[in-house]
A and B are shown apart, each in its own frame.
Chain A
Amino acid sequence: MADELFRLWVYLSSTPLAGLTLTLVAYAIGYAAYARCAFHPLANPVPIAVAVVVGALAATGTPYRTYFEGAQFVHFLLGPAVVGLAVPLAREWESVRRLAVPIAASLAVGSVVAASSAVAIAWALGASPSTLASLVPKSVTAPVAMGIAERIGGLPALAAVLAVATGVIGAVLGRYVFDAAGVRDLRARGFALGLAAHGIGTARAFQVDREAGSYAGLAFGLHALLASLAMPLAVAAWLALAA
């Protein structure tokens, strides 16, 4: 009996089914907790789901690579989700066009502040060069951050983790920062969430208000576009100046 169970487990854990199922079950647990807490920002579902998955993998001795064979199907959907951000954007287009100046300025200021302050603080605290390079794209969505990190001497997998952590931090703290700074405009709050905390901030903004969500999606998409063009150039220029 135990032998058969073991063989069944070996079979199941060697197919992508296990990783995929575990991801969805863990997210269902995280989302249920989030809903139970009346969608309070502190109960963000991502860290809960990550903790459940990491716990399950550690308990069964499953390596990340095996897990990702199944989880990649969920990860893959980030692509179509980014494409789909065009839909709320088209809905809000008239107001977006009128706000071109605040959008461009907020994008530029937010992007520079996010990347430079993260690198400066980590450098002052003694982080290694490859960690610093992985920190540069931390406010950009995970798959794009991985590509940028690779081109500037960072570690793609670490950049993805730092991006997810940043997204969670932004989604959790956004409300408190905006209230403290006296920002009541929902479009400004949404835009800042998408800019600083990419998809996880955007999910949070949609949770609060549909218009805020649209502006978050706009910032999330624009930041991915700007960062993939500008960050490699900015880092190359900085290294040339420093040398």
Chain B
Amino acid sequence: MSPLLAGLTWLLVFQSAGEAIAVATGLPVPGPVIGMALLLVAQRVRQGRDAEASAPLGVAADGLARHLSLLFVPAGVGVMLHATRLADEGAALAVALVASTLLALAAAALTFQALARRTAPDGGGDPPSHG
């Protein structure tokens, strides 16, 4: 089996397990998020052993991550369903989205950086190691 296909199969198996747990427990957490947690645990448990066996997962996961943006196009096209609302409330929405995103980016990054300096002072100004 090609690494891509094997990796994608594993991702779907973990997603299915996550969806099953979400439905069985009635937790409001989305199935893929539970699947991600399960996969993280599985990788930590097998850590160091079978590096070969987990290579396909890396191929599939990196492939999806590299073009994550593509996956949002169908939802984004949904904008055409809301033409009326956007005409009425578009200005309010645009201001709210831009301002809140600026505030959230700054708040999250400043909080992280200030506390990271205190807990792990070594990593603060690392130069980018890859591209």
Binding site for B on A (CB under 8 A): 23-24, 26-27, 31, 44-47, 49-50, 53-54, 57-58, 64, 67-68, 71-72, 74-75, 77-90, 93, 95, 98-99, 101-103, 105-107, 109-110, 113-115, 117-119, 121-122, 125-128, 131, 135, 138-139, 142-144, 147, 151, 157-158, 160-170, 173-174, 177-178, 180-181, 183-189, 191-193, 195-197, 199-200, 202-203, 206, 208-213, 217, 219, 221, 224-225, 228-229, 232
Contact = CB atoms under 8 A, between A and B. Distances in A.
Contacts of A165: 76, 79, 97
B44 interface: yes
Main secondary structure of the interface of B (DSSP, over half): helix
A127 B119 contact: no
A67 B5 CA distance: 27
A82 B104 CA distance: 22
Given A23-B73, A186-B126, A203-B69, A122 B93 contact: yes
Contacts of A200: 68-69, 72
Contacts of B32: 78-80, 82-83, 143
Interface string B13-48: 011001000000000111111011101100110010
Contact of B96 (A84, A98, A121, A209): A121
Interface in B37-89: 37, 39-40, 43-44, 47, 57-58, 60-62, 64-82, 85, 89
Given A138-B100, A147-B28, 11 more contacts: A46-B76, A50-B73, A81-B68, A102-B111, A109-B111, A122-B96, A142-B75, A143-B32, A151-B28, A164-B78, A221-B33
